[in-house]
């Protein structure tokens, strides 16, 4: 058995940054499974967002899984800071370099789950020699950098990753990130995704709608 129940990971990139603690509490109460934190450095991706200090400040606001998506290069110098700040999962991009295998080992050595993110143009083959070090594979369905972009239909890629996960016999999360709304969530779920990241589709309607919007993505 290598498929988990569907989990929803709201991306706080689309939350109200002036009220981030309350926003994290609100999605927790509304049924979020993971709190997805998009970390951008203005270099690996053309946007600047959140650092480890913000993760540390948010940590007391929820006991849900903190799913930290690092879009920074290099990532290695910051792994320990995010681990100590309270990340549960730390996801890196292979292009962040320089040594993917070593970076994944470093995340595991910090006692955290290690994720590997595949940009839309990054081939699935990058998983070839690191699958035993990976606890989560993130399939990006937009080019990283901004919330609110249109979903790129990569269901064939999601299916290919699902097959690779099945071949390991281990529980590895298959997370899809970018342009997820109730319709694209269904396409991603049907292709084998079991964790869905959503920024705009959760936060777009304000706190009164968080629970309904999370439920709509779960599709149950």
Give the residue numbers annotated as catalytic, written as ranges.
38, 177
Shortest-Cβ-distance residue relative to ligand DX5 = 199
Nearer to Zn ion, 69 or 113 (CB): 69
User: Which residue in the set 2, 105, 200, 209 belongs to the binding site for ligand DX5 (CB under 6 A)?
Assistant: 200
Dist. CA 136–CA 18, nearest whole Å: 30
Contact 54, 18 (CB under 8 A): no
Closest CA relative to residue 98, chosen from 74, 82, 116, 119: 74
Dist. CA 110–CA 152, nearest whole Å: 34
Q: What mask of x and - would describe binding to ligand DX5 in positions 107 to 146, judged by CB under 6 A?
A: -----------------------------------x-xx-
Nearer to ligand DX5, 79 or 197 (CB): 197
Q: Facing residues of 91 across strands?
A: 69, 115
180 binds, among ligand DX5, Zn ion, none (CB under 5 to 8 A by kind): ligand DX5
Whole-Å CA distances, 194 to 5, 67, 110, 136, 206: 6, 14, 25, 10, 25
| Choices 73-81, 126-134, 172-180, 188-196 (CB under 6 A): range interacting with ligand DX5 | 172-180
Which residues contact Zn ion (rule: CB under 5 A)?
Answer: 38, 69, 177
Told to check if 147 binds ligand DX5 by CB under 6 A, we report yes
């Amino acid at each position: 058995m290598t498929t988990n129940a569907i989990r929803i990971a709201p991306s706080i990139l689309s939350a109200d940054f002036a009220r981030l603690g309350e926003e994290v509490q609100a999605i927790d109460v509304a049924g979020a499974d993971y709190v997805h934190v998009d970390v951008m450095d203005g270099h690996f991706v053309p946007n600047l967002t959140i650092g480890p200090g913000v993760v540390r400040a948010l940590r007391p606001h929820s006991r849900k899984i903190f799913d930290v998506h690092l879009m920074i290069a290099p990532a290695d110098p910051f792994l320990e800071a995010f681990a100590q700040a309270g990340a549960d999962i730390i996801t890196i991009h292979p292009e962040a370099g320089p040594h993917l295998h070593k970076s994944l080992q470093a995340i595991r050595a910090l006692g955290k789950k290690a994720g590997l993110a595949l940009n839309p143009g990054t081939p699935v083959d990058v998983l070839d020699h690191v699958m035993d070090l990976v606890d989560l594979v993130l399939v990006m369905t937009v080019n990283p950098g901004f919330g609110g972009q249109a979903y790129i239909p990569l269901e064939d890629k999601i299916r290919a990753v699902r097959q690779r996960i099945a071949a390991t016999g281990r529980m590895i999360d298959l997370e899809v990130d970018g342009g997820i709304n109730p319709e694209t969530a269904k396409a991603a779920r049907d292709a084998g995704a079991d964790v869905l990241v959503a920024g705009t589709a959760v936060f777009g309607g304000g706190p009164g709608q968080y629970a309904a919007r999370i439920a709509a993505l779960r599709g149950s």
